[in-house]
């Protein structure tokens, strides 16, 4: 594409999808150094913020199936980072709660997350960062208006 040509909708969509894949792969590589996957970090982050949380709510917040969350929770429970308990008010619900070991690893993971983000954003000028934020905000508002 010529430098002065404006990218079309499909080119932008493809670029966003490729960027998302690359971001997730980069995050997984960074988190692997502390024996965590990015999705596991996201679950620990949610649990730290919300307290004991039903697995269906975690699945909804992550945009994945309950079966996928169950598998991930199995993995991080085996690491001692979370525990499952029946809800005291509704015994049908299974809540997941972060453990002290999970909180400790989350503190380290948040530092890793910040380093990943800061490293990527260091490649942009302040004006490019502002432009990026304005663009994402506009797209976000457009998506809200479609809902």
Digitized pLDDT (tens) for each residue of the chain, 147 residues in all: 566 788 899 999 999 999 999 999 999 999 999 999 999 999 999 999 999 999 999 999 999 999 999 999 999 999 999 999 987 787 778 899 999 999 999 999 999 999 999 999 999 999 999 999 999 999 999 998 986
Instruction: Please give the structure tokens belonging to residue 110.
Output: 């948040």
Residue whose pair of structure tokens reads 């998506």 in the numeric block: 143
DSSP string, the chain: --TTSPPPHHHHHHHHHHHHHHHHHHHHHHHHTTT--HHHHHHHHHHHHHSSEEHHHHHHHHTS-HHHHHHHHHHHHHTTSEEEEE-SS-TT-EEEEE-HHHHHHHHHHHHHHHHHHHHHHTTS-HHHHHHHHHHHHHHHHHHHHH-
In this prediction, residue 90 carries a pLDDT of 78
Torsion sign (Cα): 8, 10, 15, 16: positive
Predicted structure pTM score: 0.83
In this prediction, residue 138 carries a pLDDT of 94
Domain boundaries 24-146, CATH class: mainly alpha
In this prediction, residue 60 carries a pLDDT of 94
In this prediction, residue 12 carries a pLDDT of 92
CA dist 21 and 24 (Å) reads 5
In this prediction, residue 3 carries a pLDDT of 67
In this prediction, residue 135 carries a pLDDT of 93
In this prediction, residue 79 carries a pLDDT of 97
Q: Is 68 exposed, middle or buried (0-12, 13-18, 19+ CB in 10 A)?
A: middle
Q: Which long-range contacts (CB under 8 A, 24 or more apart) does 7-14 make?
A: none
In this prediction, residue 109 carries a pLDDT of 96
């Amino acid at each position: 594409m010529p430098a002065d040509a404006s990218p079309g909708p499909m080119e932008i969509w493809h670029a966003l999808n490729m960027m998302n894949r690359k971001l997730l792969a980069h995050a997984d590589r960074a988190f692997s150094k502390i024996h965590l996957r990015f999705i596991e970090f996201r679950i620990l982050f949610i649990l730290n913020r919300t307290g004991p949380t039903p697995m269906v709510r975690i699945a909804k917040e992550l945009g994945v199936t309950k079966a996928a969350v169950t598998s991930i929770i199995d993995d991080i429970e085996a690491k001692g980072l979370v525990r499952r308990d029946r809800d005291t008010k509704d015994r049908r619900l299974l809540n997941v709660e972060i453990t002290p070991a999970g909180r400790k690893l989350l503190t380290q993971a948040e530092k890793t997350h910040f380093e990943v983000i800061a490293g990527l954003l260091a490649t942009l000028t302040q004006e490019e960062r502002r432009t990026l934020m304005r663009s994402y905000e506009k797209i976000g508002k457009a998506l809200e208006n479609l809902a």
